[in-house]
Amino acid sequence: MRLVTYQLLNSTELRTGIQISKDQVLDIAHEAAALNSTAAITTMLDIIAGGEVTMRLLREIEAAPKTAPVMLNQALLKAPIPRPTKNIFCVGWNYLDHFSEGAAMAQDSRELPKYPVFFSKTPTTVNGPFDVIPFDETISTQLDWEVELGVVIGIPGKNIAEVDAMKHIFGYTIINDVTWRDVQRRHGGQWLKGKSLDGTCPMGPCIVTADSLDPTHLNLKCRVSGVTKQQSNTQHLYFKIPRLIQDLSAGMTLEAGDIISTGTPEGVGFARTPPEWMKPGDLLETEIEGIGIMRNPVGSY
Ligand code: MG
């Protein structure tokens, strides 16, 4: 099932929907009302927290809709979770070729990591799948791209064993871990600042529920103004998703709606010769097989 957050063109109200075709969405609140459901499902976080009870309702809606679908040419898709309740968890150096290109640029001989590198992006980074990525040359001009598979936690847990990890996943989305590269580097090696400028986490265009997608062999691509910059497959993840969940949840509760961005493959701008950066007017396209594509113009404040 493909779940979206959207707004009608004449409204700023965020609504949730089930995407039933390329251009049609069922409005979940309207459908639930038509079924006389009393479930509190206004936001995507409500849906995720609702667990299996809510998913049963959504499957009933998808199988026999009672209302006319919303046409997507009358709506804008937004980030499926527009305002996460905490920072987005991110993983660094999780494709070997990206690890190698980083090591080559730093001219060091770092050893392969024994544990995943975790950092985070603040909730205010979240951006829609077709919205503008802000560009402010007074802060930096080194705007880089990072296509990543996003994992959305469903069932909360702490100390989750690798073998149980997949049961805790609600679904999958696309993230671009857009990075202001020199800002990332200049703050003592702590990445939070350069990874957390507003609008640097395009997310979407939907969440594909875990029962509908095998995340282990998905092609992922990133293009800038039509030129392919990154092209890989999630089979090359160094730390696989169960290991990431095991390590991240050790002594730290993962909650419904938490998001883990699993790392980016090779081909980022800073590691190119010469380095490449996005600029106003560029179009950033981020695509993962089975989930969809995001198209974010780079613009100015
Ligand atoms: Mg990243």
- The type of residue at 119 is F
Q: Where in the chain is the domain with CATH 3.90.850.10?
A: 88-297
Over the stretch 223-247, which tens digit does the pLDDT of each residue have?
999 999 999 999 999 999 999 999 9
Q: Give the distance (Å) from ligand 1 centre to CA of residue 119.
A: 9
In tens, the pLDDT along 103-136 reads 777 777 667 789 999 999 999 999 999 999 999 9
What is the DSSP track for 212-264?
G--GGG-EEEEEETTEEEEEEEGGGBSS-HHHHHHHHHTTS-B-TT-EEE---
- Per-residue pLDDT for 82 more than 60? yes
Neighbours of ion ligand 1 (CB under 5 A): 146, 177, 264
Rounded Cα distance between 172 and 15, Å, is 19
Distance (Å) from CA 263 to ligand 1 centroid: 5
The pTM score is: 0.95
Average pLDDT, the chain: 94
Q: Tens digits of per-residue pLDDT, 10-54?
A: 999 999 999 999 999 999 999 999 999 888 889 999 999 999 999
Compute and round to an integer the Cα radius of gyration of the chain: 19
Q: With 70 as the cut, is the pLDDT of residue 301 above it?
A: no
**How much distance in Å is there from the Cα of 180 to the middle of ligand 1?**
11
The answer to whether the beta carbons of residues 94 and 259 sit under 8 Å apart is no
Residue 209 CA to ligand 1 center (angstroms) comes to: 22
Six-digit token string for 21: 């075709």
**In this predicted structure, what is the pLDDT of residue 109?**
66
Q: Which residue has the higher pLDDT, 132 or 188?
A: 132
* C-alpha of residue 219 to centroid of ligand 1, in Å: 17
Task: Give me the pLDDT at residue 186, please.
Answer: 85
pLDDT at position 187, please? 83
148 C-alpha to center of ligand 1: Å?
7
Ligand 1 mean position to 230 CA, how many Å?
Answer: 13
Residue 283 token pair? 């179009």
The topology under which CATH files domain 88-297 is Fumarylacetoacetate hydrolase; domain 2 (3.90.850)
How many Å lie between the centroid of ligand 1 and the Cα of residue 146? 6
